[in-house]
Amino acid sequence: IQLQISINTLQDLQQLLGEINWVRPVMGITNDELAPVFNLLRGHRDIKAPRTLTPEAQAVLERNHRNFPEKTSTSLF
């Protein structure tokens, strides 16, 4: 699975969170852990509204993206 971590708009963010939602059970990702990313949903509701990842949100996404292969290899087999 390849996640797009490049976020420019609210639509990009919503799409990424939708993809993350599919792997959350396997990865064991909690709502609390994703809070910095969920906070980016706040603000203007236009799907083309600009969004920029905060350093905290970027760290959460990178950490989980890095851990994906090791967690899925032990969880799926």
Place of tokens 């909690």: 30
Q: Could you state, in order of their start, the residue ranges of all structural domains in the chain? A: 10-76
Give domain 10-76's CATH architecture. 2-Layer Sandwich (3.30)
Q: How many CA atoms lie within 13 A of 61 on its CB side?
A: 21
How would residue 3 be classed by pLDDT, with cut points 50, 70 and 90? low
What is the pLDDT, as a whole number, of residue 67?
Answer: 73
SS3 50: strand
How would residue 77 be classed by pLDDT, with cut points 50, 70 and 90? very low
pLDDT tens-digit series, residues 33-66: 999 999 999 999 999 999 999 999 999 998 888 7
Nearest CA-CA partner of 44 in 14, 20, 18: 14
